[in-house]
Amino acid sequence: MATPPTRQDIYTRVTNQIARQLEQGVRPWSKPWSVEHTAGRITRPLRHNAIPYRGVNVLLLWSEALAKGYAAPLWMTYKQSQEMGAQVRKGEHGSLVVYADRITKTETDSDGQDVEREIPFMKGYTVFNVEQIEGLPAHYYAQPVTLLPLSDRLAQADQFVSTTGATVHLGGNQAYYSPVGDHIQLPPFEAFKDKDSFYATALHELTHWTRHETRLDRDFGRQRFGDAGYAREELVAELGSAFLCADLGITPEIREDHADYIGHWLNVLAEDNRAIFQAAAHAQRAADFLQGLQPTAPSGSPSEQ
Protein backbone atom coordinates (compact mmCIF):
# COMPACT_ATOMS: atom_id res chain seq x y z
CA MET A 1 0.00 0.00 0.00
CA ALA A 2 1.27 3.48 -0.84
CA THR A 3 2.77 5.65 1.89
CA PRO A 4 0.19 8.14 3.21
CA PRO A 5 0.79 11.67 1.90
CA THR A 6 2.55 14.14 4.17
CA ARG A 7 0.67 17.06 5.70
CA GLN A 8 2.10 19.47 3.13
CA ASP A 9 1.28 17.05 0.31
CA ILE A 10 -2.36 16.98 1.42
CA TYR A 11 -2.73 20.76 1.36
CA THR A 12 -1.10 20.93 -2.07
CA ARG A 13 -3.03 18.00 -3.55
CA VAL A 14 -6.40 19.29 -2.42
CA THR A 15 -5.70 22.87 -3.50
CA ASN A 16 -4.48 21.72 -6.93
CA GLN A 17 -7.56 19.54 -7.37
CA ILE A 18 -9.93 22.40 -6.60
CA ALA A 19 -7.94 24.85 -8.73
CA ARG A 20 -7.96 22.55 -11.77
CA GLN A 21 -11.74 22.40 -11.75
CA LEU A 22 -12.13 26.13 -11.19
CA GLU A 23 -9.85 26.75 -14.18
CA GLN A 24 -12.29 24.68 -16.24
CA GLY A 25 -15.17 26.83 -15.03
CA VAL A 26 -16.51 24.05 -12.79
CA ARG A 27 -17.47 24.74 -9.18
CA PRO A 28 -16.44 21.55 -7.35
CA TRP A 29 -18.83 22.38 -4.52
CA SER A 30 -21.88 21.87 -6.70
CA LYS A 31 -23.73 18.84 -5.36
CA PRO A 32 -23.36 16.24 -8.16
CA TRP A 33 -26.52 14.31 -7.43
CA SER A 34 -30.13 14.94 -6.57
CA VAL A 35 -31.37 11.66 -5.19
CA GLU A 36 -33.17 10.05 -2.32
CA HIS A 37 -32.24 6.77 -0.70
CA THR A 38 -34.19 4.12 1.18
CA ALA A 39 -32.20 5.05 4.28
CA GLY A 40 -33.51 8.63 4.12
CA ARG A 41 -32.87 11.88 2.29
CA ILE A 42 -29.21 12.20 1.31
CA THR A 43 -27.68 15.65 1.11
CA ARG A 44 -23.95 15.43 1.81
CA PRO A 45 -21.50 12.59 1.17
CA LEU A 46 -21.99 9.85 3.75
CA ARG A 47 -19.62 7.48 5.50
CA HIS A 48 -20.38 3.75 5.52
CA ASN A 49 -22.28 4.23 8.80
CA ALA A 50 -24.49 7.02 7.35
CA ILE A 51 -22.66 9.84 9.19
CA PRO A 52 -22.29 12.84 6.85
CA TYR A 53 -18.86 14.19 5.97
CA ARG A 54 -18.20 17.79 6.88
CA GLY A 55 -16.02 20.74 5.88
CA VAL A 56 -13.44 20.27 3.14
CA ASN A 57 -14.29 16.56 2.79
CA VAL A 58 -17.70 17.53 1.41
CA LEU A 59 -15.94 19.46 -1.36
CA LEU A 60 -13.46 16.66 -2.04
CA LEU A 61 -16.12 13.96 -2.42
CA TRP A 62 -18.55 16.14 -4.36
CA SER A 63 -15.63 16.93 -6.66
CA GLU A 64 -14.75 13.25 -7.09
CA ALA A 65 -18.35 12.28 -7.75
CA LEU A 66 -18.64 15.05 -10.33
CA ALA A 67 -15.41 14.06 -12.08
CA LYS A 68 -16.05 10.30 -12.08
CA GLY A 69 -19.80 10.25 -12.56
CA TYR A 70 -20.81 8.55 -9.31
CA ALA A 71 -24.52 8.79 -8.54
CA ALA A 72 -24.22 7.22 -5.07
CA PRO A 73 -23.12 9.55 -2.26
CA LEU A 74 -21.85 6.70 -0.01
CA TRP A 75 -18.16 6.08 0.68
CA MET A 76 -16.01 3.72 2.72
CA THR A 77 -12.43 2.56 3.18
CA TYR A 78 -11.02 -0.63 1.67
CA LYS A 79 -10.92 -2.22 5.13
CA GLN A 80 -14.54 -1.31 5.86
CA SER A 81 -15.68 -2.93 2.63
CA GLN A 82 -13.76 -6.11 3.48
CA GLU A 83 -15.30 -6.23 6.95
CA MET A 84 -18.70 -6.42 5.24
CA GLY A 85 -17.56 -9.26 3.00
CA ALA A 86 -17.32 -7.00 -0.05
CA GLN A 87 -14.43 -6.22 -2.39
CA VAL A 88 -13.24 -3.14 -4.25
CA ARG A 89 -13.14 -4.00 -7.94
CA LYS A 90 -9.71 -4.57 -9.41
CA GLY A 91 -8.27 -1.47 -11.04
CA GLU A 92 -10.42 1.01 -9.10
CA HIS A 93 -8.71 4.07 -7.65
CA GLY A 94 -9.77 5.58 -4.34
CA SER A 95 -10.44 9.20 -3.39
CA LEU A 96 -8.66 11.35 -0.84
CA VAL A 97 -10.33 12.54 2.35
CA VAL A 98 -8.63 14.18 5.30
CA TYR A 99 -8.76 13.97 9.07
CA ALA A 100 -7.73 16.91 11.24
CA ASP A 101 -7.14 16.77 14.99
CA ARG A 102 -4.77 17.91 17.72
CA ILE A 103 -2.34 16.05 19.96
CA THR A 104 -1.19 17.28 23.37
CA LYS A 105 2.55 17.23 24.00
CA THR A 106 4.24 17.93 27.32
CA GLU A 107 7.34 20.11 27.09
CA THR A 108 9.69 21.79 29.55
CA ASP A 109 9.69 25.59 29.45
CA SER A 110 12.60 27.96 30.18
CA ASP A 111 11.79 27.83 33.91
CA GLY A 112 12.02 24.05 33.98
CA GLN A 113 8.24 23.67 34.31
CA ASP A 114 6.25 21.09 32.41
CA VAL A 115 3.75 22.73 30.05
CA GLU A 116 1.26 21.18 27.68
CA ARG A 117 1.13 22.31 24.06
CA GLU A 118 -1.52 21.39 21.50
CA ILE A 119 -0.14 20.50 18.09
CA PRO A 120 -2.55 20.39 15.13
CA PHE A 121 -2.08 17.64 12.55
CA MET A 122 -3.75 16.43 9.40
CA LYS A 123 -3.82 12.96 7.89
CA GLY A 124 -5.06 11.82 4.53
CA TYR A 125 -6.71 8.48 3.84
CA THR A 126 -8.44 6.80 0.94
CA VAL A 127 -12.11 5.98 0.48
CA PHE A 128 -14.07 4.31 -2.32
CA ASN A 129 -17.52 5.05 -3.63
CA VAL A 130 -19.96 2.16 -3.22
CA GLU A 131 -20.23 2.02 -7.02
CA GLN A 132 -16.60 0.83 -7.01
CA ILE A 133 -17.34 -2.03 -4.62
CA GLU A 134 -18.96 -5.43 -5.23
CA GLY A 135 -20.81 -7.54 -2.69
CA LEU A 136 -22.07 -4.89 -0.26
CA PRO A 137 -25.43 -5.34 1.50
CA ALA A 138 -28.33 -4.43 -0.78
CA HIS A 139 -29.23 -1.16 0.92
CA TYR A 140 -25.93 0.41 -0.22
CA TYR A 141 -27.15 0.07 -3.81
CA ALA A 142 -30.71 1.18 -3.10
CA GLN A 143 -32.49 3.05 -5.87
CA PRO A 144 -33.74 6.60 -5.34
CA VAL A 145 -37.18 6.99 -3.88
CA THR A 146 -39.67 9.76 -4.54
CA LEU A 147 -38.40 13.25 -3.83
CA LEU A 148 -40.25 15.49 -1.45
CA PRO A 149 -42.52 17.93 -3.28
CA LEU A 150 -40.57 21.01 -4.37
CA SER A 151 -43.11 23.22 -2.65
CA ASP A 152 -42.34 21.51 0.69
CA ARG A 153 -38.61 21.98 0.27
CA LEU A 154 -38.94 25.69 -0.48
CA ALA A 155 -41.33 26.22 2.40
CA GLN A 156 -38.64 24.64 4.57
CA ALA A 157 -36.10 27.12 3.16
CA ASP A 158 -38.41 30.04 3.95
CA GLN A 159 -38.75 28.83 7.50
CA PHE A 160 -34.99 28.29 7.80
CA VAL A 161 -34.17 31.87 6.79
CA SER A 162 -36.94 33.36 8.92
CA THR A 163 -35.97 31.40 12.03
CA THR A 164 -32.41 32.80 12.02
CA GLY A 165 -33.80 36.22 12.93
CA ALA A 166 -31.79 37.97 10.22
CA THR A 167 -33.31 41.19 8.87
CA VAL A 168 -34.05 40.73 5.16
CA HIS A 169 -35.16 43.59 2.89
CA LEU A 170 -36.62 42.86 -0.54
CA GLY A 171 -36.27 45.33 -3.41
CA GLY A 172 -33.84 46.83 -5.89
CA ASN A 173 -31.58 44.85 -8.19
CA GLN A 174 -28.68 43.91 -5.92
CA ALA A 175 -28.07 41.12 -3.40
CA TYR A 176 -25.71 41.93 -0.53
CA TYR A 177 -25.19 41.88 3.22
CA SER A 178 -24.66 45.26 4.87
CA PRO A 179 -22.49 44.96 8.01
CA VAL A 180 -23.20 48.61 8.86
CA GLY A 181 -26.95 48.15 8.90
CA ASP A 182 -26.65 44.45 9.78
CA HIS A 183 -29.26 43.50 7.23
CA ILE A 184 -29.56 41.46 4.03
CA GLN A 185 -30.80 43.05 0.82
CA LEU A 186 -32.30 40.85 -1.90
CA PRO A 187 -34.04 41.67 -5.20
CA PRO A 188 -37.73 40.75 -5.17
CA PHE A 189 -38.56 37.07 -5.54
CA GLU A 190 -39.97 37.49 -9.06
CA ALA A 191 -36.66 38.99 -10.29
CA PHE A 192 -34.89 35.63 -10.06
CA LYS A 193 -34.70 33.02 -12.82
CA ASP A 194 -36.18 30.35 -10.56
CA LYS A 195 -37.10 29.67 -6.95
CA ASP A 196 -33.97 27.67 -6.19
CA SER A 197 -31.76 30.56 -7.29
CA PHE A 198 -33.60 32.95 -4.98
CA TYR A 199 -33.02 30.74 -1.95
CA ALA A 200 -29.41 29.97 -2.89
CA THR A 201 -28.72 33.71 -3.05
CA ALA A 202 -30.49 34.25 0.27
CA LEU A 203 -28.36 31.53 1.88
CA HIS A 204 -25.20 33.06 0.38
CA GLU A 205 -26.00 36.41 1.97
CA LEU A 206 -27.08 34.69 5.18
CA THR A 207 -23.61 33.13 5.40
CA HIS A 208 -22.15 36.65 5.07
CA TRP A 209 -24.54 37.67 7.89
CA THR A 210 -22.76 35.25 10.26
CA ARG A 211 -19.49 37.20 9.98
CA HIS A 212 -20.85 40.07 12.11
CA GLU A 213 -18.86 40.73 15.30
CA THR A 214 -21.84 39.73 17.46
CA ARG A 215 -22.01 36.32 15.76
CA LEU A 216 -18.90 34.54 14.38
CA ASP A 217 -16.77 37.72 14.14
CA ARG A 218 -15.09 36.65 10.88
CA ASP A 219 -12.68 39.12 9.31
CA PHE A 220 -10.15 38.49 6.54
CA GLY A 221 -8.89 42.07 6.46
CA ARG A 222 -10.93 43.00 3.38
CA GLN A 223 -10.52 46.66 2.43
CA ARG A 224 -11.88 46.95 -1.09
CA PHE A 225 -13.78 45.04 -3.75
CA GLY A 226 -11.72 42.26 -5.29
CA ASP A 227 -8.86 42.15 -2.78
CA ALA A 228 -7.70 38.92 -1.11
CA GLY A 229 -9.85 39.45 1.99
CA TYR A 230 -12.91 40.07 -0.17
CA ALA A 231 -12.23 36.91 -2.22
CA ARG A 232 -11.81 34.80 0.92
CA GLU A 233 -15.09 35.99 2.40
CA GLU A 234 -16.91 35.41 -0.90
CA LEU A 235 -15.49 31.88 -1.03
CA VAL A 236 -16.76 31.22 2.50
CA ALA A 237 -20.22 32.51 1.54
CA GLU A 238 -20.19 30.39 -1.63
CA LEU A 239 -19.31 27.23 0.27
CA GLY A 240 -21.70 28.03 3.11
CA SER A 241 -24.53 28.45 0.61
CA ALA A 242 -23.57 25.16 -1.07
CA PHE A 243 -23.62 23.27 2.24
CA LEU A 244 -26.97 24.77 3.25
CA CYS A 245 -28.50 24.24 -0.19
CA ALA A 246 -27.58 20.57 0.08
CA ASP A 247 -29.10 20.33 3.55
CA LEU A 248 -32.32 21.97 2.35
CA GLY A 249 -32.60 20.07 -0.93
CA ILE A 250 -31.98 23.07 -3.18
CA THR A 251 -30.13 22.69 -6.49
CA PRO A 252 -29.65 26.18 -7.98
CA GLU A 253 -28.20 27.06 -11.34
CA ILE A 254 -24.86 28.86 -11.46
CA ARG A 255 -25.23 32.58 -10.95
CA GLU A 256 -24.05 34.80 -13.80
CA ASP A 257 -21.48 36.58 -11.61
CA HIS A 258 -19.69 33.38 -10.58
CA ALA A 259 -17.32 33.61 -13.54
CA ASP A 260 -16.05 36.92 -12.14
CA TYR A 261 -15.37 35.37 -8.75
CA ILE A 262 -13.48 32.34 -10.09
CA GLY A 263 -10.45 34.44 -11.03
CA HIS A 264 -10.31 35.94 -7.52
CA TRP A 265 -10.58 32.50 -5.92
CA LEU A 266 -7.83 31.08 -8.12
CA ASN A 267 -5.52 33.91 -7.06
CA VAL A 268 -6.20 33.16 -3.39
CA LEU A 269 -5.56 29.43 -3.89
CA ALA A 270 -2.35 30.15 -5.78
CA GLU A 271 -1.04 32.30 -2.93
CA ASP A 272 -2.08 30.00 -0.06
CA ASN A 273 -2.52 26.24 -0.37
CA ARG A 274 -4.42 26.19 2.93
CA ALA A 275 -7.02 28.73 1.84
CA ILE A 276 -9.60 26.18 0.68
CA PHE A 277 -9.29 24.28 3.98
CA GLN A 278 -9.77 27.49 5.96
CA ALA A 279 -12.69 28.61 3.79
CA ALA A 280 -14.41 25.23 4.15
CA ALA A 281 -13.90 25.31 7.92
CA HIS A 282 -15.35 28.83 8.18
CA ALA A 283 -18.25 27.82 5.92
CA GLN A 284 -18.94 24.76 8.05
CA ARG A 285 -18.93 26.90 11.21
CA ALA A 286 -21.34 29.34 9.54
CA ALA A 287 -23.66 26.51 8.49
CA ASP A 288 -23.50 25.03 12.00
CA PHE A 289 -24.26 28.45 13.51
CA LEU A 290 -27.31 28.92 11.28
CA GLN A 291 -28.49 25.35 11.87
CA GLY A 292 -28.08 25.96 15.59
CA LEU A 293 -30.63 28.79 15.38
CA GLN A 294 -33.27 26.35 14.15
CA PRO A 295 -35.75 24.70 16.54
CA THR A 296 -33.94 21.35 16.31
CA ALA A 297 -30.19 21.63 15.74
CA PRO A 298 -28.50 18.77 13.81
CA SER A 299 -26.32 16.30 15.69
CA GLY A 300 -22.58 16.04 15.17
CA SER A 301 -19.47 17.72 16.48
CA PRO A 302 -18.39 20.92 14.69
CA SER A 303 -14.83 19.56 14.69
CA GLU A 304 -15.70 16.53 12.58
CA GLN A 305 -14.57 16.41 8.97
* pLDDT tens per residue across span 266-283: 999 999 999 999 999 999
241/82 Cα distance (integer angstroms): 36
Q: What is the DSSP letter of 192?
A: S
18/27 Cα distance (integer angstroms): 8
Kind of pairing between the strands at 40-41 and 36-37: antiparallel
- Backbone angles phi and psi of 188, in degrees to 5: -60, 155
| Residue 43 pLDDT exceeds 60 | yes
Q: Quote the distance between the C-alpha of residue 155 and its chain's center.
A: 23
User: Quick one: pLDDT at residue 26?
Assistant: 75
| Residue 205 pLDDT exceeds 90 | yes
As a whole-number percent, the residues of the chain with pLDDT over 70 amount to 83
As a whole number, mean pLDDT of residues 165-177 equals: 92
Q: What are the helix (H) ranges across the chain?
A: 7-23, 56-68, 78-83, 150-163, 195-209, 228-248, 258-271, 275-292
Q: What is the DSSP letter of 224?
A: S
